[in-house]
Amino acid sequence: MRRIPLLEKGGIITGCFSDYCTVRLRIPAGVVTPDQLAGVCEIAKRYGADTLHLTTRQTIEIPHIDPDQVPELVADLEQNNTPLGAERAEVVNITACPGTDRCKLAQIETIKLARAIDEKHFGKEMPCKIRIAIAGCPNSCVSSSLNEIGIVGVVTPIREPGTCTGCGTCVQYCHENAISIKNGTIRLNTDLCSHCGMCIFSCPFHIIQAEDPGYYITVGGRRGRHPKFGRDLVVLRGAENVLTVVDDIINWIYRQAWSGKLLTYQMDEIGFDELREKIIASLPEDCIIEWKKR
């Protein structure tokens, strides 16, 4: 792999005026300590920046930097544990919602998973830009399905016949109109259910239970001028299995995709269906969740 000069790296972005550049930071899941954030502010002031930009990919950019100052600036950022980010044909900053650490709607832990993926894959040279986003539930506040690799926490509700009171609380909370009451009995339309877990959370008697949460993975989404949802790959159990699948996806893209074309536009040509079959065949049977996404 060729050695990329510092000023050619994706974290160094040339703007409208070539006399200056923007420096993008690597901040997986957008999480920094107060000391790190204070350090970024102090470094930015030291190099003459009067503003900072908080980006859509949960990182920070320092604008209007003299290119001659970049080597020293990057060294200071490394010392602050907020190193140079990525932007070009590489794995860029991993984004994630707060997950079960803070959000009562989340089904999966997201921050540790984002950091684990970042540690293995951030900055890896690829044929095309790879954005990865992790959402704790189908509300998907980080728009995971509009990324090249999307991961969403899902859950399947379980109702024990005869225990439900038919109060209808879950009907009111379901945003998909997937639950109805007939003759005092709750009925779930599995074709409409998004597996968000709102009915489980809302049940005042804690009667609705849940299976272990799953990870719904999509591939090939994109934002931008022509947004497109990623394609369904698999729904599985276990964060360790997610890491294995992400490894397989990135290896597939690295070996099969070509430059100059976004992943979403070459999915068929490079064999996405074959990738899905291969991944499903390689996983332990008990970790795959049979689930139909609308």
pTM: 0.93
Residue with tokens 């009915």: 199
What would the mean pLDDT of 10-23 be, rounded to a whole number? 87
- CA gyration radius, the chain: 22
How far is it, in rounded angstroms, from Cα 244 to Cα 163? 39
One-letter identity of residue 237: R
pLDDT at position 201 over 70 = yes
Which domains occur in the chain, in start order? 6-79 (3.30.70.3340), 95-103+110-154+213-287 (3.30.413.10), 157-210 (3.30.70.20)
Cα 248–chain centre separation? 16
pLDDT score, position 1: 52
What would the mean pLDDT of 111-129 be, rounded to a whole number? 97
∠ Cα 233 239 240 (to 5°): 95
pLDDT score, position 171: 92
pLDDT score, position 294: 40
pLDDT score, position 129: 96
CB-based contacts of 184, cutoff 8 Å, min separation 6? 166
How far is it, in rounded angstroms, from Cα 284 to Cα 281? 8
Residues 163-180: pLDDT tens digits?
A: 888 888 999 999 999 999
What would the mean pLDDT of 192-202 be, rounded to a whole number? 92
Dihedral angle computed from the Cα positions of residues 11, 8, 77 and 114, in that order, rounded to the nearest 10 degrees = 40
What would the mean pLDDT of 197-225 be, rounded to a whole number? 92
Least confident of 49-58, 209-218, 248-257: 209-218
Q: Are 83 and 27 in contact (CB under 8 A)?
A: no
pLDDT at position 10 over 90 = no
pLDDT score, position 285: 86
Q: Give the number of other CB atoms < 10 A from CB of residue 247.
A: 13
pLDDT at position 293 over 70 = no
Least confident of 4-13, 197-206, 215-224, 269-278: 4-13
| DSSP structure class, residue 83 | -
- Among positive and negative, which fits the CA dihedral 135, 128, 55, 228? negative
pLDDT score, position 291: 58
